[in-house]
Structure 1
Amino acid sequence: MAGMRLPIPTLRRARGTEPGPISGLARLDRRTKRLTGRLRPGEIAVIDHVDLDRVAADSLVAAGVTAVLNVKPSISGRYPNLGPEVLIQGGVVLVDNLGEEVFQGIREGQVVSVEGGTVLLGGEPVATGVRQDAESVAKAMAEAREGLSVQLEAFAANTMDYLKQERDLLLDGVGVPDVQTSIAGRHVLIVVRGYDYKDDLDVLRPYIREYKPVLIGVDGGADALVENGYTPDMIIGDMDSVTDDVLRCGAEVVVHAYPDGRAPGLQRVENLGVDALTFPAAATSEDLAMLLADEKGASLIVAVGTHANLVEFLDKGRGGMASTFLTRLKVGGKLVDAKGVSRLYRQNISGSALLLLVLSAMAAMASAVAVSTVGKAYLTVVSEWWDNFVFQLSNLI
């Protein structure tokens, strides 16, 4: 995908009544992942995110924003990315293709209004784009699917490039740091703040309680573990989305570095007084977590929120996702997607059926007590005790 320039189709507004205006405080950042940590319900997010992916859209919806103003096309036409559909289904207003005027004309915390596809500040228009709805997004997605074959070819080319670059790491584990966390022979749970991670973590509670796996958080995935009541054993990533408090939780920290050894996130970790190792590689942080767990002898690797299929690889919109494909081939049978584990542990007994079972057991016990000689004598004693209790209570009153 890297280096390919494909034509960007114009997203057209669907016919129908123009939605009403909305207003809110503006929050701006060119990195959507960094912005979501500052957003509050009712605010308006201003982003610079071509081909908005599902993970970013899920975060924006969870933050409770009323609108997303994108200076770039949310669907460029390169491939059918999933983010715009998530926003529309979540009731978030989406305005595309606003241009750089938005970042130049709006400051953090200013109150802006959105009328149709126009953004206004103090009643004056700042920029005009295209206000999307379900119909326009569906049409753009259909157009994007027509060019999917080109993206598959680019994905395959990136895969080969990565294989040549990281052959030693993939085949022999060269470059994997010597960590102190004991992994050999244990299950490892790797958590990425990605697809359906909250639901997956919730249904994995019985598994975590029984097997006590090594808990590895990939960047913001470490915060996800803490939010669910767990303490991560290890944190791996470039440290751009994990919070300071979680970095200080006592987990072993491994900073993802560029292949040339540069690690921009290392300085932040050291400033917090936390010791850290570096792991130079061209792969994604989630891939490094899997490769490290595999190289250190994990008996099973359970993945939460990671990318598991071709649609998710392409939705990430990065050539680097080729590493995820090869990493999964390398790890092989050790890797289990969290959705598979959750199906193994999900209880098939519904709440109503469980209640009926309890009531039936109580009724059976009551019947047994009522017909037996011992039961009748016991009921007589209980009846006398109750009568005496009521009599004493009435005297007190």
Structure 2
Amino acid sequence: MNIQDIRKQFPILDQEVNGKPLVYLDSAATSQKPVQVIETLERYYREYNSNVHRGVHTLGTKATDAYEGAREKVRKFINAKSIQEIIFTRGTTTALNTVAASYAAANLKEGDEIVISYMEHHSNIIPWQQVAKRTGAQLKYLPLQEDGTISLDDVRATVTSNTKIVSIMQVSNVLGVINPIKEIAQIAHENGAIMVVDGAQSAPHMKIDVQDLNCDFLAFSGHKMCGPTGIGVLYGKKHLLENMEPIEFGGEMIDFVELYDSTWKELPWKFEGGTPIIAGAVGLGAAIDFLNEFGLDQIAEHEQKLAAYALEKMAKIEGIQIYGPLDPAKRAGVVTFNIQDVHPHDVATVLDAEGIAVRAGHHCAQPLMRWLKATATARASFYLYNTEEDIDKLVEGLVKTKEYFSDVF
């Protein structure tokens, strides 16, 4: 991978912020978009903007072909068996809510268990809280090891014959931890449970094979993987999706409507009510083409090297605390940290003055913050367009931040 050639394909990176060259280290929140994706969106709106599936005119046919072509690209991207297993959604949150509101609400009863972990994003906590309240099921949390990793022994001790759903993020948006999803899925299945995977932080950064993982559902978002906002994917095994009821009604998902009853289209369209997210899907297809040019294995290797470099450099700063495993082999391209006696919002503000974009706050993971005994943290996250020079500037900015606040106080 030639990083400089890659960077040239992201127009937004060629600018100054506060008089300094932009250093974008917030891709875990949302990635930047390459020219190919931007031009694909523009081409859709300029040349063949139309609704899909309904019209027989030329523009409608072009839009339908592009929309369904994007679905096939997603299928290949995660190695699903069929396009019937690929549902377009507004994002990871909508996808996880669909599983909870449709599958879980219909299949859980009092005494059943849902198992998640303390590291989960709020989008993989609140839907399960709500469905547990409605069904009487019990929500259980996997404990974490001291470095924030999950032990398979703890999984075996927590998942029981009463467990019906296990839902875990593949990569933590705070700790950078890469969880052993394949092994957790096996334990879940041995106990008669299904495996739900939050892939928001993994799909953009590493190769995913849903058949190899043997997960039952996978959710991810387009905007974190060089695609547009407002588009995401729910993968589900066909036999599970076929037995689930849609949770949005109208438009594209309808087959026949009678006065007092209606029937739904076949998969995947029965879960895509209303006019679908056409431009978003087409843009996501372009993003997948872009990522495939470089290869997800190469992207993962690049980010792991950046994480190792960042961990080494940042560990030399006195008073800095880094969260998650210090072994780069156990984490993705995310480094979350605090500087002693400096609020992370202040850290982010000083870094922004240097043109460096990082995230500060609870990262939609308040239970994890409490587990870390931190009210908030700062986070630097990397992607295929980041370089060691970006990290050098981050480290310089952190040293400047520390010096500034030591002078103030």
Return the TM-score normalized by structure 1.
Answer: 0.28
Q: Which has the higher contact order (CA 8 A, sep 6+)?
A: 2
TM-score normalised by L of structure 2? 0.27
Larger Rg: 1
